[in-house]
Amino acid sequence: MSTLDTNLDLPMSDRALTPLLVQRWGRLDYQSSLDHQNELVRKYLEGDERDRIILVEHPPTITLGRRGSTNDLHFPEKFYQDRGICLQKVNRGGLATAHEPGQLVAYPILRVKKKNIKLYAETFLNVIVRLLGDYGVQGYLKPGEPGVWVNGQKICSFGIGLKRWISYHGIALNINNDLETFKMIVPCGRPDEIVTSLQAQVGFEPDMDVIYDQFLRHFCKAFDYFQVKE
């Protein structure tokens, strides 16, 4: 279990804060979202060096990371096509995971300042631990495994891509999604993995707008940002 906190060194008033552009894309298909991310990374590398975070929901989608393959699927590809579930090969770490409406999906497009992937990942995932804590749910990390767990069940997936230390991809936290798409895959290469959601843990449906606000507050505190809008 890891609970790394990189923000206890100095009080907030003594740390330099930088602006973070917040964009909400609503519900958007995965390929369009990925295309937009790639375009933002390209612009960043060409001189538009504004850190931003994207909040979005996807229709049912299964993504296969660089190490993923059809071995991570429980059914032939036509099974998913017939049910309108998108299969997507993506350039991020990890194996198979699922997206559904009702998830908090967050994609930071920003420069990883300390050029330490492990530190960045643990800081990001501990943002989720703190968000869960707002609801009295104890989340934790597992050394060497990307994600957040609650009571032995996975509640958040994590995978990043980097281009010259500019990050894209990010996290998918199960909030109100029904988890049916997860039953069609081997989540993160672990056949015995049980997936849960915040709604399943607390017994009610959290308000997504409140979730977004809580997430952004914790993210900005962890990474020394303040929120701005374009």
> Which residues belong to the active site?
188
Residue with tokens 């194996």: 95
Please enumerate in sequence order all residues whose Cβ is within 8 A of that of 101, keeping only pairs 6 or more positions apart, or say none: 27, 57, 58, 59, 60, 177
Tokens at 22, concatenated: 């917040």
DSSP 138: -
Eight-state DSSP code of residue 143? T
User: Which residues are 15's β-sheet partners?
Assistant: none
Three-state SS at 118: helix
| Side-chain-facing half-sphere of 5: CA atoms under 13 Å | 10
> What number of other Cβ atoms are within 10 A of residue 6's Cβ?
15
List of E strands, 58-152: 61-64, 86-89, 96-99, 103-109, 140-142, 145-150
